[in-house]
Amino acid sequence: MFSRSIDSFDIGKRFISSIYPTKNFKKGIEPPQDEEVSLRTGFWNEDFILSRGVFPLTIATSDFMQNYPKRDAVEKTDPPNSYSSTISNVLGLQQCKVLNYSDLKIPRSNLFSIPNLISNNSKSLKEQRKKLSKVINHVPYRVLDAPGLRNDFYSNLVSWSCISHNVAVGLGNQVYLWNEDSGVTALNMEDDAMVTSVAFSLGDYVLVGTHIGRVWLFSQKDNTPLGSILREGTRVCCLQWSQYGDLFYLGDSSGAVGVFEIVTNSKTRTCTFRLRSTLTCHKQQVCGIALNKEEDEISIGGNDNYCSVWDISDKDQPILKYILPHKAAIKAISYCPWSKSLLSTGGGTKDRTIRFWHTNSGTLLHEFDTKSQVTSLIWSNYSKELVATFGFGDEPGRLLLAGYSYPKMNTLFEVTASSNLRILSAARSPDEESLCVATNDETVRFYKIWKRTKHCLGSSPEAQGSGTYGSSLIELHEGIQNRDKGIR
């Protein structure tokens, strides 16, 4: 796994060279072939400053530009007091040129619309720039090369530790732990089985699932396997830790989810696994698992186009509550952290919708058409917002990820996808400000999404507010009082 950051390190015999994308041409490194590449800059369309339409003069005239066919990318004449120099001054861009790419097709949502900035007198320039920045500034601040990262919708190959800040990435039959400070460490895997899922606990543990049904438990500190369990005849699809540390949920290709408790032997420093119960409902493989904040409820998404909701107040005797339908596989599942009964689910390629459910009644609250396969959903703990990542979608203007307000689902920002690029899975950072995503071009990308505030929303009725469920009766049941309207 290679980093285009500012560090350098080694993995085995491979040398990891860390460079910025703008230096690719000096190093003689070609960008991935399935990315849409600008012939003028070499920047990848949805990643870098190309989407802003403005380039520093030092970049526009650097050596790597000479490696490309000369086109009329920069205007040949730029008389004093010209339009471009005026715009540069208005935007505060010193020593910059406004470039005009007449034959380059970029989605309109990616363009920094200068005419709109200066023509609308009803809003200040500062307000308009702030509004546009929510679109154009969402570019990855780091890209890690991940050779061997499987292009598989059904695998979950990235996880981010909240204790060590390690990022685990499954590549082929190996798992690497990447850290911004210490670099990369390979886990001491004891078999050659293909990795299909990785997951960090809230403590030192990391789980690794494989395609032969074996799950390994590792200690991050010692980098040693503490134990393993084999689910014969199945493939491990997803792993979900309990916040209490010694309990985890294993979803496999048979459609079942096992509830396992870790039993530690302090003398031998090894672990065994005790199966407490099995949740059996789905006819095809498990794609996603989510727990609510109180961990008395679990939702399981399957390849059979259904999401099952279970009461797990008693971990030894789970009770099936509801079966929620989609029109395709359900991998993206997430409980709202500030509303204990609000569940979001995202459908696959033949569905492409985000649906919101009241899990205490099984009611479909509303659905939102995304035009793309939904691969993950992540709620903010500090604002009423959620982020969705996408796979296959409608061209052109297909999205890679987007942020929405809730419940109105107004678009807060969008990152458009270049040709053939899609997100397979995602993990949130420990500070809850960033996401790392695994993409089908064998890279792991890091996006800055939110700015953390001092106060968490919590899950009180006051934090939820009127309109959360879109129903006065449901909100009354949840203890939310509508002060504007009475129930008729």
**Model pLDDT for residues 464-487, shown as the tens digit of each residue:** 666 788 888 888 878 777 655 544
Against a cut of 0.75, is the pTM above it? no
C-alpha span between 49 and 457 (Å, rounded):
34
Q: Tell me what pLDDT residue 99 has.
A: 30
- pLDDT tens-digit profile of 121-171? 334 434 443 444 444 346 899 999 999 999 999 999 999 999 999 999 999
CA distance between the termini of the chain: 60
pLDDT at 10 over 90: no
Tell which residue, 144, 117, 140, has the closest CA to residue 128.
117
CATH number of 151-274: 2.130.10.10
Q: Tell me what pLDDT residue 322 has.
A: 97
Least confident segment among 145-159, 210-224, 365-379, 463-477: 463-477
Least confident segment among 54-63, 171-180, 376-385: 54-63
Domain boundaries, the chain: 2-140, 151-274
DSSP 381: S
CB neighbours of 139 closer than 8 A, spacing ≥ 6?
46, 47, 48, 49, 51, 415, 447
Confidence band of 43 (pLDDT split at 50, 70, 90): very low
Q: Tell me what pLDDT residue 474 has.
A: 87
Confidence band of 325 (pLDDT split at 50, 70, 90): very high
Mean pLDDT (the chain, rounded): 77
Confidence band of 34 (pLDDT split at 50, 70, 90): very low
- CB 171 within 8 Å of CB 14: no
Q: Tell me what pLDDT residue 159 has.
A: 98
SS3 201: coil
Mean pLDDT, residues 327-355 taken together: 95
- Pair type for strands 224-230 and 214-219: antiparallel
pLDDT at 52 over 70: no
